[in-house]
């Protein structure tokens, strides 16, 4: 019988030998917590009365984890945790930088507010059909997409939140919901297929899926590999997911069909993941290719913002109007992508923060208006200023900053500095038209003379609470923008110069 060898094997060159510090686990908490609590909700699926409370607790813990994570990133730089003990790029890494951590934090805040409003919006049937497990699974996918450092796992987390979003979209099984879900599903599956094709193509070229590894190797392969083709594929795939022109028609055809709390989550969070993915791939991984495509991206941005807001002006259904406002905002954010400077990308990131908060507030405002009047049609809604003056005051505050003053100041200045005066004009024009569109909503729904207050319903206290929770940070961005601008500039600088990001994933002495 052969003796068992006692020779020690050195695995330090291939595997992580030191235990993971406890503080590093915070990077996966925004993903792990929603998944664990979502699984628990399935275990107590027959006790749907407690689902909302459990979901709020889960999202509260996730929010705390995101606050801790962003604080650590701002203090110490990107935080990395690699799964399975294999060193990157073979081990799958979660890499939280300023962009990912801040987007995850704002998205979780929106989810908490929406979960609070869902206690009124989601009835017993919706709870029984799994709204809250779907919501937690979706937020796990959102957190994973913002925090992953592996581009294939970005695709995986896209699939996670898309699958759960399908369930939320058809909740109720009404004919219009199924119609909207079909349009939403088909277009997103096409975009996902393009994403997967691009990622397979990328792996064939680079032999790796780790984003830090790709960013480090891209310079060596530039000129010998078709990186512009890769960048174009990602632009098309993520542009479709973000609802950029001309592949934006699915959004206004589907986002008005689900429950209003679902529309608020989708319109505020999910479309921003498409913008995030564009920034991550085109600005960080393929900057020369982005510069080559900048003219095309600028025209797409201008068309998206102008046609989107013109669609909003043409609507009488409040939910469809909000969908077109979402599209217009995507165009504004893509303007920063086209310019590619630190100031421009910072404007895009800051506008993303603003838009996530504002669009959630506007969708929930539409739901509160429907509760008071029983309709989403501007032909039927009127007189809310007289019957609900406090609600009118909140709506007026939301309509005023709808154009996103400070992000657009950054974007306009960056456009003028780059000699793109026409793009600056498009940004300003879209802001003016957005204010007109939402001002029209306010005048018709609140200021126009309507029926007696006795003919309108009461606004629940939770309605005022959720509006205040979203309006206050919107006001903070407008009144005291400096800390938000600093975070946005830090995120932009980390994308444009990813050396710190790469050095965190591959410390000195480690060979990718």
pLDDT in tens, the chain (512 residues): 455 555 665 555 565 666 677 777 889 999 999 999 999 999 988 888 899 999 999 999 999 999 999 999 999 899 988 887 777 778 788 999 999 999 999 999 999 999 999 988 888 777 888 899 999 999 999 999 999 989 999 999 999 988 898 888 887 767 777 777 788 888 888 888 999 999 999 999 998 999 999 998 888 888 788 889 999 999 999 999 888 888 888 888 888 888 899 999 999 998 899 999 999 999 999 999 999 999 999 999 999 999 999 999 999 899 999 999 999 999 999 999 999 999 999 999 999 999 999 999 999 999 999 888 888 888 888 888 888 888 888 888 888 765 578 899 999 999 999 989 999 999 999 999 999 999 899 998 888 876 554 456 677 788 889 999 999 999 999 888 999 999 999 999 999 999 999 988 887 545 55
Cβ–Cβ under 8 Å, residues 245 and 303: yes
Q: At what angle do helices 131-147 and 98-121 cross, to 10 degrees?
A: 170
Q: Residue 310 has what pLDDT?
A: 94
Q: Residue 1 has what pLDDT?
A: 47
Q: Residue 17 has what pLDDT?
A: 61
Count of H-run helices and E-run strands, the chain = 23, 2
Q: Residue 82 has what pLDDT?
A: 84
Three-class SS state of 150: strand
Any domain includes 105: no
Any domain includes 390: yes
Any domain includes 309: yes
Q: Give the residues across from 94 on adjacent strands.
A: 81, 148
Any domain includes 157: no
- Run of H or E including 94: strand 93-96
Any domain includes 391: yes
Whole-angstrom Cα distance, residue 435 to residue 204?
47
Any domain includes 284: no
What's the domain count of the chain? 1
Q: Residue 452 has what pLDDT?
A: 53
Structural domain that includes position 330 = 293-498
pTM to 2 decimal places: 0.92
Any domain includes 434: yes
Any domain includes 13: no
Whole-angstrom Cα distance, residue 267 to residue 363?
8
């Amino acid at each position: 019988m052969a003796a068992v060898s006692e020779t020690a094997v050195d695995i330090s060159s291939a595997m992580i030998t030191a235990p993971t510090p406890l503080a590093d686990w915070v990077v996966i908490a925004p993903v792990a917590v929603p998944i664990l609590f979502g699984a628990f909700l399935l275990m107590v699926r027959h006790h749907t009365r407690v689902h909302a409370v459990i979901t709020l607790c889960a999202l509260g813990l996730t929010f705390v984890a995101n606050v801790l994570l962003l604080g650590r990133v701002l203090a110490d730089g990107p935080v990395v945790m690699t799964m399975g003990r294999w060193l990157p790029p073979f081990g799958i890494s979660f890499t939280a930088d300023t962009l990912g951590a801040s987007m995850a934090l704002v998205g979780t805040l929106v989810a908490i507010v929406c979960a609070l409003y869902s206690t009124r919006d989601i009835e017993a049937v919706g709870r029984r059909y799994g709204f809250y497990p779907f919501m937690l699974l979706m937020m796990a996918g959102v957190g994973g997409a913002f925090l992953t450092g592996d581009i294939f796992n970005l695709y995986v987390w896209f699939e996670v939140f898309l699958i759960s979003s399908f369930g939320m979209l058809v909740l109720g099984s009404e004919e219009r919901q199924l119609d909207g879900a079909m349009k939403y599903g088909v277009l997103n599956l096409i975009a996902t297929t393009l994403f997967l094709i691009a990622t397979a193509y990328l792996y064939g070229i680079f032999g790796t899926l780790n984003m830090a590894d790709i960013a480090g190797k891209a310079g060596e392969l530039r000129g010998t590999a078709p990186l512009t083709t890769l960048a174009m594929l990602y632009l098309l795939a993520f542009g479709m997911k973000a609802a950029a022109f001309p592949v934006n028609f699915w959004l206004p055809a589907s986002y008005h069909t689900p429950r209003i709390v679902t529309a608020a989550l989708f319109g505020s969070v999910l479309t921003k993941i498409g913008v995030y993915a564009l920034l991550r791939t085109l600005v960080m991984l393929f900057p020369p290719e982005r510069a080559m495509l900048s003219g095309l991206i600028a025209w797409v941005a201008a068309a998206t913002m102008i046609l989107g807001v013109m669609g909003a002006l043409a609507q009488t259904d409040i939910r469809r109007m909000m969908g077109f406002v979402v599209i217009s905002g995507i165009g504004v954010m893509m303007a920063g992508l086209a310019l590619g400077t630190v100031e421009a990308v910072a404007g895009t990131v800051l506008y993303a923060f603003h838009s996530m908060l504002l669009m959630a507030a506007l969708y929930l405002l539409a739901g509160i208006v429907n509760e008071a009047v029983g309709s989403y049609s501007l032909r039927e809604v009127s007189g809310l200023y007289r019957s609900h003056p406090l609600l009118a005051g909140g709506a007026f505050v939301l309509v005023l900053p709808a154009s996103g003053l400070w992000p657009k100041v950054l974007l306009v200045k960056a456009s003028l500095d780059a000699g793109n005066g026409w793009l600056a004009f498009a940004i300003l024009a879209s802001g003016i038209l957005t204010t007109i569109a939402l001002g029209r909503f306010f005048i018709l729904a609140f200021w126009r003379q309507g029926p007696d207050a006795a003919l309108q319903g009461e606004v629940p206290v939770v309605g005022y609470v959720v509006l205040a929770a979203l309006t206050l940070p919107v006001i903070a961005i407008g009144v005291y923008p400096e800390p938000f601008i600093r975070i946005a500039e830090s995120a932009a600088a980390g994308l444009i110069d990813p050396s710190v990001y790469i050095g965190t994933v591959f410390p000195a002495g480690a060979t990718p």
